[in-house]
A and B are shown apart, each in its own frame.
Chain A
Amino acid sequence: MLTVTIDNHTIEVEEGTTILQAARMIGGAVVPPAMCYYSKLKESGGKCRTCLVKVAQGSARDPRPVPKLVASCRTPVADGMVVQNITSQEVIDTRKAIVEFLLINHPLDCPVCDQAGECDLQNLSYDNGREESRFEEAKRTFKVVDIGDKIQLHMNRCILCYRCVYAADQLTNKRSHGILYRGDVSEISTYIQNDIDNDFSGNIIDVCPVGALTDKTFRFKNRVWFLNPMNASRSCNKCSGKVTAWMRGEEVYRVTGRKDQFGEVEEFICNECRFDKKERTDWTIEGPRNIKRASVISQNHYLNSKQPTVILPLEDRTVTMEEFEKNSNNEIQP
């Protein structure tokens, strides 16, 4: 076991744990944000640089600090390591600059984008970004591409995190898309507009941190904050069948995987559950999902509000209705 200190919180972790994983074990504000790292996808991480942290002490044996900031998602901890995340001004300043870099080519079209309200980049820029853009040049633009009949690719919004490439590589037996070209001109594409049709290809929508890959069956249907995310399940022979059904009234608008507090799905779901089962009768509704209070999705959802009860429910009554009426009659008599 190795002892590591992150923002003055000390934790013992096993060998091979990365700094980001150790921070997630502590939880709270200590956790660095991550746009490209996805714990369920092997080899992911190290692309976006939002999780950069300062290592103030390399290890107990060699207490010198690491000269540059390191990507916490790819750096394994050493015994006696001291890490600074939000306690270091250098990290905060760098993260602000990283957000600005990520937004260079990202269009500011949140009112149009379906991902708004549950977008990792939107949250990141609200938490760490500048209030206004300093970028004056033209942003790169692409045409909207359909990848298959259920998924749409908006290359304008892509931040090249590679999550969808890893997801397709590791979940499906035949990956048919990837990143073409290099550097500033690189883009997600399929080989000559190939369709992606695999049973688990829909998960590239869930892993996308921005609105680059969107569900065509939900495109412009509704805004996420008007929907109620519900835990739902069905017996499915391809996947676990445990999903989030985004409902309004009795209608199921869209189906996604269940995302945990770090925005990662708990279990990947199949395309049949995601795209084809949009009837209320297809699903067993288990109950509402827990939404962060700060999230816009919790707006106007009065789930936990205390309703004033005029007549108490039956089990809470200490007097019977007859007694109650008799007593109240006595009161109004002169």
Chain B
Amino acid sequence: MSANQNIGSLSGRSKIVSNKKMTFAERIYLPAIFGGFRITISHFFKKKATIQYPEETRPIAEIYRGKHVLKRDDEGRERCTACGLCALACPAEAITMIAAERKEDEMNLYREEKYASVYEIDMLRCIFCGLCEEACPKEAIFLTNVTVPSDLHRSDFIYGKDVLVEPVDKRVDISHRQTPEVLAFKKDKNQSHNV
């Protein structure tokens, strides 16, 4: 005999079981069965809680922070100048880069005299906080609303410039990420290097 039989239920939800005799309607069980069917069938006409994932996706916010993109400017030149401020700001230390000097015949490829010859983000380390985007003085890196796909090997999650830099013929629109204040700031003549 334990002590807590004397003080009753702690949660207050226990039921006292009785051996009361069932009525005829209860004894044939059919009303209860049809009651159960009614609940089951009613679910056929309700809105589904699940979606068919790869074909369908849920709507996400426009400023959702997903996969990064390295932007090009209006003339198709890479904006990133490998200043290293994104790597410095990154709390997960996911970004690494190697800088190189622009050659004479590469004027149409890179906007500044220095560019990132290697730019890598470890997507397994990245926490998608968006601090790289905020730190960037050249408006080069942005987060997009694309989710990072799953993969089989850890090495495949280290995204290099081949994945991150936007293709010239397939630009990534990031204008919705910029507030009217930011866009007004960029119209300033002294900030023209950032357009």
Q: Is A220 an interface residue (CB 8 A)?
A: yes
B189 close to A220 (CB less than 8 A): no
Q: Are B190 and A112 in contact (CB under 8 A)?
A: no
- Asked whether any CB of chain B lies closer than 8 Å to the CB of A320, the reply is no
Are A225 and B100 closer than 8 Å at their CB atoms? no
A133–B88 CB distance below 8 A: no
Q: Which of B83, B99, B101, B189 contacts A116 (CB 8 A)?
A: B83
Most buried by B among A111, A133, A219: A111
Let me know if B88 and A299 touch, CB within 8 A. Answer: yes
Question: Nearest Cβ in chain A — how far from B41, in angstroms?
Answer: 56
Q: Please, how many residues of chain A have a CB less than 8 angstroms from a CB on the other chain?
A: 19
A136 within 8 A of B: yes
A112, A132, A225, A299: the one contacting B114 at CB < 8 Å is A112
A to B contact number (C-beta, < 8 Å): 40
A299 and B135 CA atoms in complex are apart in Å by 14
Q: What per-residue 1/0 map shows which CB atoms of B101-131 lie under 8 Å from chain A? A: 1000000000011100000000000000000
Residues of A close to B138: CB separation below 8 A: 111
Residues 66 to 99 of chain B near chain A (Cβ within 8 Å): 81-85, 87-88, 93, 99
Which residue of the partner chain, among B81, B88, B99, B113, contacts A221 with CB atoms under 8 Å?
B99
- Find the B residue at minimum CB distance from A226: B84
In the complex formed, the residue of A with least CB distance to B84 is A223
A41 to B54, CA, bound (A): 70
Complex: how many Å from CA A225 to CA B100? Answer: 18
Assess whether A328 is interfacial by the CB under 8 Å rule: no
Chain B neighbourhood of A135, CB < 8 A: 190
**A111 near B137: Cβ-Cβ < 8 Å:** yes
Q: What 0/1 pattern do residues 295 to 307 of A give for CB contact below 8 A with B?
A: 0100110000000
Q: Is the CB of B100 within 8 A of A220?
A: yes
Whole-angstrom distance between the Cβ of A240 and the nearest chain B Cβ:
32
- Within 194-226 of A, Cβ neighbours of B (below 8 Å) are at 219-223, 225-226
**Structural contact, B81 and A111, CB atoms closer than 8 A:** yes
Chain A residues 87 to 119 lying within 8 A of chain B, measured CB to CB, are 109-112, 116
Complex: how many Å from CA A133 to CA B88?
A: 25
Query: Which chain B residues border A112 with CB–CB below 8 Å?
Result: 81, 83, 112-114
A260–B161 Cα distance when bound, in Å, is 40
Rounded to whole Å, the gap between the CB of B118 and the closest CB of chain A is: 12
Q: CA separation between A136 and B81, bound complex, in Å?
A: 24
Q: Please name the residue on chain A nearest to B137 by beta carbon.
A: A111
Tell me the smallest distance from the CB of B119 to a CB of chain A, in Å. 14
Considering the chains assembled together, what is the distance between the CA atoms of A222 and B88 in angstroms?
12
With a CB–CB cut-off of 8 A, which chain B residues contact A296? Answer: 88
User: Which single residue of chain B is at the shortest CB-CB distance from A116?
Assistant: B83
Q: If the complex has contacts A111-B138, A300-B93, are A136 and B189 also in contact, measured as CB distance less than 8 A?
A: yes
Shortest distance from the beta carbon of A145 to any chain B beta carbon, whole Å: 14
- A88 vs B176: C-alpha distance when bound (angstroms): 47
- Minimum distance in angstroms from A241 CB to a CB of chain B: 30
Complex Cα distance A128/B93, Å? Answer: 32
Q: Which residues of chain A from 207 to 263 have any CB-CB distance to chain B below 8 Å in the complex?
A: 219-223, 225-226
- Complex A-B: 21 CB contacts under 8 Å: A110-B83, A111-B83, A111-B85, A111-B137, A111-B138, A112-B81, A112-B112, A116-B83, A136-B189, A136-B190, A220-B82, A220-B99, A220-B101, A222-B99, A223-B83, A223-B84, A223-B88, A226-B87, A226-B88, A296-B88, A300-B88
Nearest 5 A-B pairs (CB), nearest first?
A: A111-B83, A223-B84, A220-B99, A112-B114, A111-B137
Given contacts A110-B137, A220-B99, A226-B88, 15 further A-B contacts (CB under 8 A): A109-B112, A111-B112, A111-B137, A112-B83, A112-B113, A133-B190, A136-B189, A136-B190, A219-B101, A220-B100, A223-B88, A225-B84, A296-B88, A300-B88, A300-B93
